[in-house]
Structure 1
């Protein structure tokens, strides 16, 4: 081999090794999909959030309200509510885009709020005044706890699965369920759960916990007020007269600086400054607004306008509506699926 060919060979080999190293070290980027329920069409839409194109529609039960995806983004779980009378969670294969088996939640009725934490599905059971937990690995309900409150509805579970927050609509309260690990004489550790009930206002439904975990904001549909609760002390620190009559859902922006509140009655989107607890803006987005989903990078928000049969897209920088997405009639529950 001539010296020129030797140099050429070494250069090509070096390039090949560099490309191979880059290929080995590159981590696959997760694919984020938007999941959106149509309550009237009884479908779960899978949407590309970048193009706003509906990729698939999958049939679900007769009254779907909320949806959540597993951590790996392979499955979705849909609560079939029926005003507190039904007893089913639909399991959806997001890769094959087809329904799987249904979970019978009895003796817990009216599954509504739903979360996926530590490999398990947590849900409120409005008709049974309780919170339950389903283990996909065993295919069984493995835990439940009663709240004793009327219409235990929305749900938030901390990442360690040790604290559960829920709103009780007709009782006008927020429940905080807390787990403490104790070791009895037999040496087998177990969890002991306790409940703190915090009075707020009747019609309290939509709520969220701030990204730093320090505050809980809950909106009440009947008097339009917003209760601000200190999570550590479990006490209400402020009651904002927001005049958000018909308030349905509430969500913090990813940076924790703003709070969005939707009104199913007026169609207003109320935007509050989280620090000053003052209203920043009201945006008319339709006849009625419900489910809210934030893009994790803080660029946009999706708001389900149920009576209008579309989802409004909100720019989080300008706080203006930039587009609409149609996933079916009476859209409501929204969630992300991160497929790795």
Structure 2
């Protein structure tokens, strides 16, 4: 309903690196800016990416150290299930619009796990590269995208066959991605280049490049498709990108280490 944020407490280090192992999710009333609840996993799991199931209303969260995606009932704040990914470092998650499939980007193994969210089973593990980061799905659910971290290229996975169908060359290694609602464009963060690339999903080529503040990480598309947002980690900014002409409309001040983005609009 756009009123509550579910914030995973991951730890104090990057994926696969030594550090504290988070074990909880903090529940925040957005309007009041107050903590209203806590979900404790009982042990360190490094919870990271939290998404709502579009059909069942459950919360799905990657729990890396358990090699799983945990299922939480947001009404009771209880953990009601677990879906194995079959891989370590299952860092990010994307869910199809019908709520039936989940895809995790498994960083260190360089794979993508395909999950059946209804039976809560692993369907397949797709080899991609020695290391990957982030994942998103096209609006028609036909393609999943994850960024190779060893070469400047983006893997395009055919969700019908669960195989890498295409590679999109990039000017620099990619990171977070998001499609425009019409499925025409894919916006890709390029952290090492301090740029955002816009891929034409018809030609599968980079069509536009946008300069942004240092170290863009995550990409969020506004629901109306008119704006895209890029969190810029080391610069503590979020760049608001106008889709009509692919320019930076404004920079929004953010906190240290700005990364994950989510859209909340009270209804």
TM-score (norm 2): 0.90
Equivalent residue for 2:18? Answer: none
2:84 matches 1:146 = yes
Shift of 1:230: 0.8
2:143 matches 1:207 = no
2:133 matches 1:197 = no
What residue ranges of structure 2 are gaps of 5+ in the alignment?
16-20
Equivalent residue for 2:169? Answer: 241
2:30 matches 1:94 = yes
Equivalent residue for 1:36? Answer: none
Shift of 1:279: 0.8
Equivalent residue for 1:12? Answer: none
TM-score (norm 1): 0.72
Shift of 1:131: 0.9
What residue ranges of structure 1 are gaps of 5+ in the alignment?
1-71, 181-190
Asked if the contact 1:310–1:328 (Cα under 8 Å) also holds between the matched residues in 2, the reply is yes
Instruction: Summarize the alignment of residues 1-340 of structure 1 with structure 2, pairs less than 5 Å apart.
Output: 72-82=1-11, 83=13, 85-107=21-43, 109-117=45-53, 118-179=56-117, 191=119, 193-245=121-173, 247-340=174-267
What is the root-mean-square deviation in Å for CA atoms of aligned residues?
1.7
Q: Secondary structure at the match of 1:213?
A: coil
Name the structure with the higher helix share: 1
Asked if the contact 1:221–1:244 (Cα under 8 Å) also holds between the matched residues in 2, the reply is no
Larger Rg over CA atoms:
1
Shift of 1:257: 0.6
Q: Secondary structure at the match of 2:105?
A: strand
CA distance in 2, matches of 1:157, 1:241: 25
Shift of 1:119: 2.3
Q: Secondary structure at the match of 2:83?
A: strand
Report the number of matched residues: 258
CA distance in 1, matches of 2:44, 2:100: 21
